[in-house]
């Protein structure tokens, strides 16, 4: 019995050790339902003063883009940041994300909202695949 305990502990360690080494992935589909071209950025923030952009894109009105899949360390905070470079007075909207696949729908802000946009964030129901069209490739 005493010999089996260390062997069992070693087996449990072998099962859980690879899970600790894996970095979580983030994939975000952004649907722009506004009448403005917006900039979206998937960012990780290891510390308060450090921001690292993992992926970004310009999204034309009525279109969508998929950011990611991108990896971050297990305890890092990851945000989707939406902004409009033409409106210098607007503060970019940001939402913290958990690992996985997400769909962010951007609509025009209503009279009751604080910001210029309203963001609706939900877990993706289907697998997200980045589909880049020829028009999208020309824009970048």
With respect to residue 1, please indicate whether it lies within any of the assigned structural domains. no
Cβ neighbours, 10 Å, residue 57 = 20
In this predicted structure, the answer to whether residue 138 has a pLDDT above a threshold of 80 is no
CB atoms within 10 A of CB 86: 10
Give the largest Cα separation in the chain, rounded.
71
Highest mean predicted confidence (pLDDT) among 77-81, 105-109, 123-127, 136-140 = 77-81
Check residue 15 and report its DSSP letter: H
Residue 79 CA to residue 45 CA, distance in Å, equals 8
DSSP run (H or E) holding 109: none
Residue 2 domain flag: no
**What is the average pLDDT value for the chain, to the nearest integer?**
82
Q: For the chain, how big is the Rg over CA atoms in Å?
A: 20
CA–CA separation, 102 vs 122, rounded Å? Answer: 6
Residue 135 inside a domain? The answer is yes
Distance CA 130, CA 68 (A): 8
Predicted pLDDT at 61: 95
| Tens of pLDDT, residues 48-67 | 889 999 999 999 999 999 99
| Total domains in the fold of the chain | 1
Q: Specify if 13 maps to a domain.
A: no
Residue 140 pLDDT > 80, yes or no? no
- The boundaries of the domain holding residue 83 are 21-139
Residue 5 in any domain: the answer is no
Determine, yes or no, domain membership for 131. yes
Q: What percent of the chain has pLDDT over 90?
A: 48
Domain CATH number, residue 75: 2.60.40
């Amino acid at each position: 019995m005493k010999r089996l305990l260390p062997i069992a502990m070693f087996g449990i360690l072998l099962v859980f050790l690879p899970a600790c080494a894996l970095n979580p992935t983030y994939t975000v589909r952004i649907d722009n339902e506004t009448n403005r071209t917006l900039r979206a950025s998937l960012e990780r923030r290891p510390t308060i003063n450090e921001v690292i952009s993992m992926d970004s894109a310009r999204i034309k009105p009525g279109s969508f883009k998929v950011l990611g899949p991108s990896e971050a360390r297990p305890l890092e905070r990851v945000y989707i940041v939406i902004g409009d470079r033409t409106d210098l007075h607007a503060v970019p909207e940001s939402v913290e994300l958990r690992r996985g696949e997400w769909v962010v729908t951007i609509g025009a802000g209503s009279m009751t909202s604080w910001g210029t946009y309203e963001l609706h964030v939900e877990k993706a129901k289907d697998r997200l695949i980045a589909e880049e069209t020829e028009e999208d490739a020309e824009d970048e």
